[in-house]
Amino acid sequence: MTKRSVLLLSLIAVLIFSWTAFAAKDPSEITIVMIVKQSDPWFDDMERGINQFREDFGVNAYTLVPESGDPALQIAIMENLIAQQVDAITIVPNDPQAMIPVIRKAREAGIVVVTHEAPDIAEHVDLDLEAFRNEDFGVLMGKSLAEKMGGKGKYAGFVGGLTMTTHMEWYKAAVQYIEENYPEMVNISKEPFVDENNLQVAYNRALEILRVHPDIRGFFDCSAHGAGIAQAVRERGRSKDVVVASLAIPSMSATFLKDGSMDHGQAWRPADAGYATVYAAYKLVVGEEVTTGTDLKAPGYEDIIVEGKIAYGYAPLVITAENVDDFEF
């Protein structure tokens, strides 16, 4: 190799190093935004996870909260973030299918998009992160309800909204498990009742069901607002003969678990899910891969499994009267 060739190669190496150093952003220059479904204790805790990530990594990460669960509000927030040219958008969609056009727009603009609780639109995003396999979570709820009902009697199932993918998958898995294993249990409706992710709505609809079906023996709610059902059951003096199983926010459900008007609570830690989701987005922004075995630095997400564009952790929590005070959310 000639001296001229060596000098040329050295120059190229210096240019490559300089370009890489110029192209690589300082963490503080990276902006990652989490759009949650609505304002409630669940997403308040998720925001704690985002804030902790910001503190740990120095990334400009923050949460935006729509005024209600209207999917159009999430779309509007995302449009604004595209105009701002943020580096990554993470989102827990109220209606995943409705988000597809704006997600495409974001990715076409070079923005990384990572979802949580939206496996049905994974093909349209960079990654979807799930706390567990939804079928397993639904079976856990159905099995708990059936066992506490003694495998007999009428029951009703709730979701937050019919467009909420994860709620519907849990509901269907729970009902299927019950139908296959407990033939003496009867679902009073072919479709789930909807509580609109609202305690008052859950309470009102539970009261109506208790009135129309006085012989009902159980409820399960895939929304975290099953405490409204428990309140109705308690007020009607039915805590001893009606079982309530629900996705549960400990701060909202502690009283009902302790007095027996809620019999089973299950969840995952929102703060951990938020942390893992934004960390996955950060890795993608800086050009790193998220693959099976990746540690997303949050409990339950230390050794994820990636199938296609869906990443699964294993982070279910069973919440009882005995352990409810151990949780911070």
Residue 274 sits in a domain whose CATH number is: 3.40.50.2300
- For the chain, the distance separating the N- and C-terminal CA atoms, rounded to the nearest angstrom, is 66
Looking at the domain assignment, is residue 2 inside a domain?
no
How confident is the model at residue 4, as a pLDDT? 52
How confident is the model at residue 84, as a pLDDT? 98
Mark whether 296 and 223 lie in a shared domain: no
For residue 26, count CB atoms less than 10 angstroms from its CB and return exposed for 0-12, middle for 13-18, buried for 19 or more: exposed
Mark whether 255 and 138 lie in a shared domain: yes
Give me the domain span that covers residue 310.
25-131+270-315
Residues ≥6 apart with Cβ < 8 Å to 231:
199, 203, 256, 261
How confident is the model at residue 1, as a pLDDT? 52
User: Whose CA is closest to 74, among 12, 27, 116?
Assistant: 116
Looking at the domain assignment, is residue 320 inside a domain?
no
Number of domains in the chain: 2
User: Whose CA is closest to 79, among 62, 57, 64, 94?
Assistant: 64
Mark whether 138 and 124 lie in a shared domain: no
DSSP-assigned letter for residue 248: B
How confident is the model at residue 24, as a pLDDT? 67
d(CA 322, CA 257): 9
Mark whether 246 and 153 lie in a shared domain: yes
d(CA 163, CA 53): 30
Looking at the domain assignment, is residue 79 inside a domain?
yes
Mark whether 169 and 205 lie in a shared domain: yes
Mark whether 199 and 148 lie in a shared domain: yes
How confident is the model at residue 6, as a pLDDT? 42
Looking at the domain assignment, is residue 99 inside a domain?
yes
Looking at the domain assignment, is residue 4 inside a domain?
no
Mark whether 140 and 65 lie in a shared domain: no
Q: Side-chain half-sphere of 76: how many Cα atoms within 13 Å? A: 9
For residues 30 and 60, is the Cβ–Cβ distance under 8 A? yes
Query: Mind listing the pLDDT tens digit of every residue in the chain (329 residues)?
Result: 554 554 444 444 434 433 443 356 799 999 999 999 999 889 999 999 999 999 999 999 999 999 998 999 999 999 999 999 999 999 999 999 999 999 999 999 999 999 999 999 999 999 999 999 999 999 999 999 999 999 999 999 999 999 999 999 999 999 999 999 999 999 999 999 999 999 999 999 999 999 999 999 999 999 999 999 999 999 999 999 999 999 999 999 999 999 999 999 999 999 999 999 999 999 999 999 999 999 999 999 999 999 999 999 999 999 999 999 998 88
**264 Rama sector, left if φ>0, alpha if ψ -120 to 50, beta otherwise:** beta
Mark whether 257 and 172 lie in a shared domain: yes
CA 114 to chain centre: 12
Mark whether 126 and 138 lie in a shared domain: no
Residues ≥6 apart with Cβ < 8 Å to 244:
218, 219, 220, 221, 226, 229, 230, 233, 256, 261, 262, 263, 264
Mark whether 243 and 309 lie in a shared domain: no
DSSP symbols for 181-230: H-TTEEES-SS-EE-TT-HHHHHHHHHHHHHH-TTEEEEEESSTBTHHHH
Mark whether 111 and 225 lie in a shared domain: no
For residue 188, count CB atoms less than 10 angstroms from its CB and return exposed for 0-12, middle for 13-18, buried for 19 or more: middle
Torsion of CA 92, 97, 99, 101, to 10 degrees: 150
Looking at the domain assignment, is residue 93 inside a domain?
yes
Looking at the domain assignment, is residue 20 inside a domain?
no
Looking at the domain assignment, is residue 18 inside a domain?
no
Mark whether 260 and 295 lie in a shared domain: no
